[in-house]
Structure 1
Amino acid sequence: MNLDVTNSPLTEEQAAKANDLLSSLTADQKAWFSGYLTAIQHIGDNSKSTQTTSTEASETATPLQTGSAQSNVAQPKARDITVLYGSETGNAQGVAEMFGDRLKGLGHTVEVKGMDEIKPRNIKKVEDLFIVTATHGEGDPPDNAIELHEFLHGRKAPKLEGVRFSVLALGDQSYEHFCQTGKDFDSKLEELGAERLYERIDCDVDYDEDAEKWIAKVIDALNEETGSTAQAEEVVSETIQSEQQHKHSKANPFYAEVLENINLNGRGSNKETRHIELLLEDFNEEYEPGDCLVVLPENDPALVNQLIAVLGWDRGQEIKVNEDGDKMNLQDALTRHFEITKLTKPLIQKAATLFKNDQLTEKEQDEEWIKDYIYGRDLIDLLTDFKTTDLQPDDLYQLLRKLPAREYSIASSYQAAPDEVHITVATVRYEAHGRERSGVCSVQFAERVEPGDKVPIYLKHNPNFKFPKDNETPVIMIGPGTGVAPFRSYLQEREELDLEGNTWLFFGNQHFTTDFLYQTEWQKWIKDGYLEKLDVAFSRDTDEKVYVQHKILENSKLFNEWLENGAAIYVCGDEKHMAKDVHEAIKQVIAKERSISQEDAEEYLKQLKRDKKYQRDIY
């Protein structure tokens, strides 16, 4: 915040000089200068007192004579701040690092690190502890948070009196155990005696606004505790504006032109997988293999029209879309702002209040009923099954969450094509409860996006899925279906950098003839030496289904030899089945080939994760 004649008692000339000086100072210099001014004020006050002795005056002047920022005025002791993140895909890490940067900008001493980068027993040495954590799967901690989570919930957990804390939890309301890891840390830190500096905030998939609120409130609480005069909201606001000017985001997307939109599957396939190429001319940001492209989708216009008909409202009516009172017409709000294709437990609970439908009010008390009902249903189903005349247009923002952005692993190399980005999108279509259903973004690409159209996008870097850039580390890549996308990116980059060999890809899908995604490219990389080994599993081409985990077991001896030679493992794709089955297969290989127990094999894999040599991008 710059000083001027309207926000300070300074003249225009004085304000200009002060701004020039302040802009040139470091954080430490600003802190010293603040103490200097405080001391001067204290001296002035003392000089007016007839009871100030020469000894007292000498003592008061000493800090100025020695260059110290201290005075006889009691100053709150500065406390060290530790920000820990539990992150699987990089969201929590990104928020934690942004929070740390803002704290440093306010002059605080801050250390930001992953939960696996702190020795659990050292947690008792922390003064101010702020945790930003995602929840993985069905209520589990992210991989890098497991050890600290287990330690704090175990018998060796220390007492934490004197530690102040706050927790920001990231999650997805469509999962039963929403933000569970954040809730676990929050309750356990309190149980161990730590003092909650600010209440936990639980964020849904659209976490930006809630994260900003938490950051601002925590900074306010810190300032209040330390006696700081920093205006957190103004500093945060200015920082946000600066961040938005320098990179694209959900609030500031880049509209990328579609260059290609191709179906990768052959005729007769049960699947439809789109290869999308987007133009990044004037984008001015780089990406790496393992990073994601985030797309801001739109709901299907036919589904929106059907929903408006069920509601019986005027599609052109202006409605509130948030607590701030911002408005959009109903058609646009249901198309681009609200999620209408998925039900969640919180939505059902809100609907029970807003609908004033006795049957829904009764059923909402039964958690098992909610869990069963929301599966495969949408807002139209809810309005049809539980009719209401009490729901008003301006109630929608209280009922519906924002339409979540969609993240796709990047399938191209910036080094090979800096003005383009490619993604691989599996089209989702299915039937449930007597109606045809479809994926919001995938079917938008499959049916309503053509070359020449523009799509709002931005980048999301994934620091937890990074590939080696040398030719010394063997790399094992496991990616069935669209999980192969980041490995296409990596092989493109290796070709561009002329890094040959030391790569092994496991790929799987249903049929060889129709579902071998990017087949000619893999074969070319094998021929040219950039891909050393390729193993494929096509589950529907044999009487007994064969998946990538079976290919890992078939190659047990060689797989272990690669690990002994320092190989790094990368897994991308489905979490619920594939990733778990692959993990078990690798564990079996290690136990068998090294003649060790399953427990020791599991510990070996944990160490690989700590060493960043077993990385997963699973969803």
Structure 2
Amino acid sequence: MLTMLTVFHEKCPMKIDPSNSPLSADQANGLNRLLETLAPHQFDWLAGFIAGHQAAQPGAPGTAAAQGAGDTGQEHPSLTVLYGSQTGNCEGLAEALGEQANAHGINARVLDMADYKPRQLKSESYVVVVTSTHGEGEPPDNALDLHEFIHGRKAPSLKHLQYGVLALGDTSYEHYCQTGKDFDAAFAKLGATALVERADCDVDYDDEAEAWCKTLIERLQNEAGASGMPTAGGVSAAPTTEAYTRRYPFMAEVLDNQWLNGRGSSKETRHIELSLEGSGLSYQPGDSLGLYPQNDPALVAAIIERLGLDADTPVTAGDIETTLAGALKHHREITLLTRPVVEKWAALSGSAQLTELTTDNAKLTEWLYGRDLLDLAEDAPVTGLDAQTLIETLRKLPPRLYSIASSQSAVDDEVHLTVAAVRYETEGRKREGVASSWLADRLADDTTVPAYIEANKHFRLPEDDAAPVIMIGPGTGIAPFRAFMQEREEREAEGANWLLFGDRNFHSDFLYQSEWLAWRRQGVVDRIDVAFSRDQGEKVYVQQRLRENAEDVWRWLERGAYLYVCGDADRMAPDVHRALLDVIIDAGGKNEEDATDYLRELTRQKRYQRDIY
């Protein structure tokens, strides 16, 4: 089937003839009509989907393709792909890698690290770890057990094991790809041999991850003698039923853009509604929407002027030919500096100050805060810099993810977001968040924005509609819980719902207040506890509300409540986690170690889930 599709695609308009194919006339004619409508990326997806479908059939040792020409009769090697994922990116890459491995004659299984028994490592021959990092270099929640085991005294010798590590991270953070580095070092220490060198991928990971996966599969084929026909398409995206993806976003129309805060608020939070009509995209409560933003045209112009360049100079940004102004507005990161960019700029400018900064992580992190490309150009001028070199020095402008604030069961072909506009001042100049200010200031109704769905299987409502739910979401962290309640209302779920929400001031910052109070009156929400930090002399936060209501929180947990946390990863999430430990110690009568184990067990049971950023 894949060979037939490939020939059809390359030599179109050739038709499938029912008389010399195993298809009925109706099947052949239907397939002909479908293939005539496919764009190249949709065709690639279809080819990969068929390969994955073949590999998943009961009793299939690999794929139908892998059993065809070129099969040497050798036993197909087995590969275990383990993913640690907080938002879903690593899960998507792991699933795509598994699909492609199967298509190449490798028996691959893809597992969530939380569902994998660490002691099985003793019986593995080939293992790949695909993992992200969050917080201060910490593993994702679902990777905690495996990460702890492999660094502990009970970890076995792995001299028999060959492995690979694909790490996702963000070079703007100090502990870039730290979890991947941890796994790599631990495997090596236990005697395992790397099939390929670890790849540390920045937020724009698609091309590098795809190349790494291709190399891994080739190396594994050489090591184990696997054979098989490669599929069309790459290893850059998870199998999906949608035509629109991270690489091929849908142009979603803006339906509404409202200011959520009341008069006198010190914050600016927007409720944004987008149309998905005609996209075929679907989502579940807990998923995120990815948006490709635009940089501020005024900042773009200031940078070009400072560097003495021409805005209309032709440049190439990856595989896109555009002007310098177009590249800086749409395709390159200019508001956030990273270590690689500073290192390149230090070489271009010959700046001793920048060179010295790159040798001290703490000083570099402090210096980078709030600075953008214009600051860099002013602090370390580059003589004779040309437009193309500038573009090649900068990293791609990555998409921004926002927790979806709606249930598709309630809003049909719409998707809602809750976005806080980021505005501040440093170094004597006003600054703005790239995506948030773009959404707040430069999006009018009927404008379209490039968007895609980022599934998050690690932030899901319980399947049991009778299960109680505790939702902790200060600020814009309330977004997914609005989606949760819309969904539970539509499903007429019987489970109790408890919201803990915090922000600055009650009268101006209780986001979606009328909706939450209506749900409370109707009995959809059983309890609401709030913490408004600036309504009194001493600041109060949601973690204090947890401690104040420790007995009730403990009772809810003991009767099977699911616990959800959404919001800031740097301060709020660790503070809430500490408060939960205190609740379990004080109300549950446990010591620190047992309380930690209790929360870890909730994570294993998927009853403690976090969407933190």
TM superposition score normalised by structure 1? 0.87
**Would you say how many aligned residue pairs link Structure 1 and Structure 2?**
578
Q: Which residue of 2 aligns with 1:311?
A: 307
Q: Which amino acid aligns with 1:461?
A: A
SS in 2 for 1:202: strand
Match of residue 528, structure 1, among 497, 519, 522: 522
Specify every segment of 5 or more residues in structure 2 that has no aligned partner in the other structure, as ranges: 24-46
- Trace 1:333-352 onto structure 2 (pairs within 5 A): 333-352=327-346
The Cα shift of 1:369 comes to 3.3
Asked if residue 548 in structure 1 is aligned to residue 548 in structure 2, the reply is no
Q: CA separation in 2, counterparts of 1:365 and 1:239?
A: 35
Asked if residue 594 in structure 1 is aligned to residue 592 in structure 2, the reply is no
Q: Which residue of 1 aligns with 2:505?
A: 511
Q: CA separation in 1, counterparts of 2:565 and 2:64?
A: 50
The Cα shift of 1:422 comes to 0.4
Asked if residue 82 in structure 1 is aligned to residue 80 in structure 2, the reply is yes
Q: Deviations over 1:333-382 (max 9, x none)?
A: 00000000011112111111222344434544444432222111011101
Asked if residue 402 in structure 1 is aligned to residue 402 in structure 2, the reply is no
Q: CA separation in 1, counterparts of 2:212 and 2:21?
A: 30
Asked if residue 360 in structure 1 is aligned to residue 358 in structure 2, the reply is no
Q: Which amino acid aligns with 2:398?
A: P
SS in 1 for 2:466: coil
Q: How much identity, in percent, do the aligned residues show?
A: 47
**Does the C-alpha gap of structure 1 residues 37 and 321 become closer, same or farther in structure 2, counting only changes over 3 Å?**
closer
Q: CA separation in 2, counterparts of 1:377 and 1:438?
A: 11
Q: Which residue of 2 aligns with 1:281?
A: 277
The Cα shift of 1:594 comes to 2.1
Q: Deviations over 1:118-143 (max 9, x none)?
A: 22122111111011000111111111
**Does the C-alpha gap of structure 1 residues 190 and 256 become closer, same or farther in structure 2, counting only changes over 3 Å?**
same
Larger radius of gyration: 1
Q: Which amino acid aligns with 1:613?
A: R
Q: Which amino acid aligns with 1:602?
A: T
**Does the C-alpha gap of structure 1 residues 240 and 160 become closer, same or farther in structure 2, counting only changes over 3 Å?**
closer
Deviates more, 1:333-342 or 1:371-380: 371-380
**Is the CA contact (8 Å cut-off) linking 1:102 and 1:236 kept in structure 2?**
no
Asked if residue 140 in structure 1 is aligned to residue 141 in structure 2, the reply is no
Asked if residue 455 in structure 1 is aligned to residue 446 in structure 2, the reply is no
Q: CA separation in 2, counterparts of 1:201 and 1:165?
A: 12
**Does the C-alpha gap of structure 1 residues 204 and 37 become closer, same or farther in structure 2, counting only changes over 3 Å?**
closer
The Cα shift of 1:388 comes to 1.1
**Does the C-alpha gap of structure 1 residues 502 and 367 become closer, same or farther in structure 2, counting only changes over 3 Å?**
closer
Q: Deviations over 1:236-281 (max 9, x none)?
A: 5278799699431232111111111000001110000000011111
Asked if residue 150 in structure 1 is aligned to residue 148 in structure 2, the reply is yes
Q: CA separation in 1, counterparts of 2:261 and 2:169?
A: 33
The Cα shift of 1:106 comes to 2.8
**Does the C-alpha gap of structure 1 residues 606 and 18 become closer, same or farther in structure 2, counting only changes over 3 Å?**
farther
Q: CA separation in 1, counterparts of 2:162 and 2:20?
A: 35
Q: Which residue of 1 aligns with 2:461?
A: 467
Match of residue 91, structure 2, among 93, 100, 106: 93
Q: Which residue of 2 aligns with 1:537?
A: 531
**Does the C-alpha gap of structure 1 residues 305 and 161 become closer, same or farther in structure 2, counting only changes over 3 Å?**
same
**Does the C-alpha gap of structure 1 residues 238 and 81 become closer, same or farther in structure 2, counting only changes over 3 Å?**
closer
- Trace 1:111-122 onto structure 2 (pairs within 5 A): 111-122=109-120
Q: CA separation in 1, counterparts of 2:440 and 2:425?
A: 17
Q: CA separation in 1, counterparts of 2:61 and 2:595?
A: 52
Q: CA separation in 2, counterparts of 1:319 and 1:482?
A: 38
Q: CA separation in 2, counterparts of 1:127 and 1:15?
A: 45
SS in 2 for 1:2: helix
Asked if residue 478 in structure 1 is aligned to residue 476 in structure 2, the reply is no
Q: CA separation in 2, counterparts of 1:298 and 1:172?
A: 19
**Is the CA contact (8 Å cut-off) linking 1:354 and 1:390 kept in structure 2?**
no
Q: CA separation in 1, counterparts of 2:458 and 2:128?
A: 20
**Is the CA contact (8 Å cut-off) linking 2:67 and 2:228 kept in structure 1?**
no
Match of residue 436, structure 1, among 412, 423, 430: 430
Q: Which amino acid aligns with 1:164?
A: Q
Q: CA separation in 2, counterparts of 1:580 and 1:81?
A: 35
Q: Which residue of 1 aligns with 2:195?
A: 197
Q: CA separation in 2, counterparts of 1:242 and 1:487?
A: 26
Asked if residue 124 in structure 1 is aligned to residue 118 in structure 2, the reply is no
Q: Which amino acid aligns with 1:514?
A: S
The Cα shift of 1:223 comes to 2.1
Q: CA separation in 2, counterparts of 1:204 and 1:240?
A: 14
TM superposition score normalised by structure 2? 0.88
Q: CA separation in 2, counterparts of 1:452 and 1:222?
A: 50
Q: Which amino acid aligns with 2:354?
A: L
Q: CA separation in 2, counterparts of 1:559 and 1:243?
A: 39
**Does the C-alpha gap of structure 1 residues 459 and 516 become closer, same or farther in structure 2, counting only changes over 3 Å?**
same
The Cα shift of 1:2 comes to 2.2
Q: Which amino acid aligns with 1:2?
A: T
Q: CA separation in 2, counterparts of 1:566 and 1:546?
A: 28
Q: Which residue of 2 aligns with 1:418?
A: 412
Specify every segment of 5 or more residues in structure 1 that has no aligned partner in the other structure, as ranges: 39-68
Q: CA separation in 2, counterparts of 1:450 and 1:577?
A: 33
Deviates more, 1:17-26 or 1:279-288: 17-26
Q: CA separation in 1, counterparts of 2:274 and 2:462?
A: 26
Q: CA separation in 1, counterparts of 2:238 and 2:135?
A: 34
Q: CA separation in 2, counterparts of 1:220 and 1:35?
A: 17
Asked if residue 560 in structure 1 is aligned to residue 554 in structure 2, the reply is yes
The Cα shift of 1:227 comes to 3.3
Q: Which residue of 2 aligns with 1:294?
A: 290
Asked if residue 2 in structure 1 is aligned to residue 6 in structure 2, the reply is no
Match of residue 268, structure 1, among 264, 269, 276: 264
